[in-house]
Structure 1
């Protein structure tokens, strides 16, 4: 019996590869798995964007609290004689390519044993992009939950100096 490397005999041949049925089953499994994978990736991207926006909103709130504290320090140094922390204040700021709306509310801390401290509450909401494109909202909805809420405490320099 003579063996040839180029042409195996008809009796000894074995087909290699997928049959049509196996290929169709493999394609069906892939077709069922891809939508689930795409949904998972989109959910992760949406979650990342939400975390990013929340982080930016906290940065806006921290910047506003730092601004109030700096103005209070300038008042204590007598550089700003007429400055008074407002009971309510609001404004918009552009940061990271987005437009943010912040609202500040000051509450006197009369229940503390030491007078002269105030609680500052800052709420931040996303308005749209910095180039003026809206994200579906033309005005700030007060009922809409804020992306970030920050509470800080400041002292009134005049009252604290009276105590000392």
Structure 2
């Protein structure tokens, strides 16, 4: 009897160095894109949160002035207040109008940042208050 021809043995084949490097490059690009998108999401969230809180502060200040019995006097003042987890600078400016029984009110709200001495402007709201 004849011996059957032996087939060449296939050796188990792994990834080559080039394939591993290409896979790492692709993974690195995807990870960098994910980090960038996550960072944009967080900064966008913080911006919307700050604008919302500042808008509420300005609305509250104007409501306080509208609820007064007397027409607010022409003035400009700034107060610091805590609202939510932050400290805010609220500047209220009451201006005269052509109509003597009306005032123009501008409320500017700025947020104190942890690493900056001056507050950063976030929101300004203008309203008119009048007396009957």
Task: Give CA-to-partner distance per residue, 1:6-48, whole Å, 9 cap, x none.
Answer: xxx96696958x6234333212211222112212211221111
- Which one of the candidate residues 72, 82, 87 is aligned to 1:94? 82
The 8 Å contact of residues 93 and 100 in structure 1, kept in 2 or not, is answered as yes
Q: Which residue in 2 is equivalent to 1:116?
A: 101
SS in 1 for 2:21: helix
Q: Does 1:19 align with 2:15?
A: yes
Q: Does 1:148 align with 2:123?
A: yes
SS in 2 for 1:147: strand
User: 2: distance between equivalents of 1:96 and 1:53?
Assistant: 10
Q: Which residue in 2 is equivalent to 1:47?
A: 44
TM-score, with length taken from structure 2: 0.79
RMSD after superposition: 2.6
TM-score, with length taken from structure 1: 0.65
User: 2: distance between equivalents of 1:10 and 1:40?
Assistant: 54
User: 1: distance between equivalents of 2:30 and 2:110?
Assistant: 38
User: 2: distance between equivalents of 1:96 and 1:136?
Assistant: 19
Query: CA, structure 1 residues 31+139, in 2 after alignment: closer, same or farther (shift >3 Å)?
Result: closer
User: 2: distance between equivalents of 1:95 and 1:14?
Assistant: 69
Query: Relative to total residues, which structure has the larger strand share, 1 or 2?
Result: 2
User: 2: distance between equivalents of 1:57 and 1:10?
Assistant: 79
Query: CA, structure 1 residues 89+58, in 2 after alignment: closer, same or farther (shift >3 Å)?
Result: same
Structure 2 runs not aligned, ≥5 long = 1-5
Query: CA, structure 1 residues 10+52, in 2 after alignment: closer, same or farther (shift >3 Å)?
Result: farther
Question: 1:123 Cα deviation (Å)?
Answer: 0.4
The 8 Å contact of residues 89 and 105 in structure 1, kept in 2 or not, is answered as yes
Structure 1 runs not aligned, ≥5 long = 1-8, 77-82, 129-134
User: 1: distance between equivalents of 2:44 and 2:118?
Assistant: 25
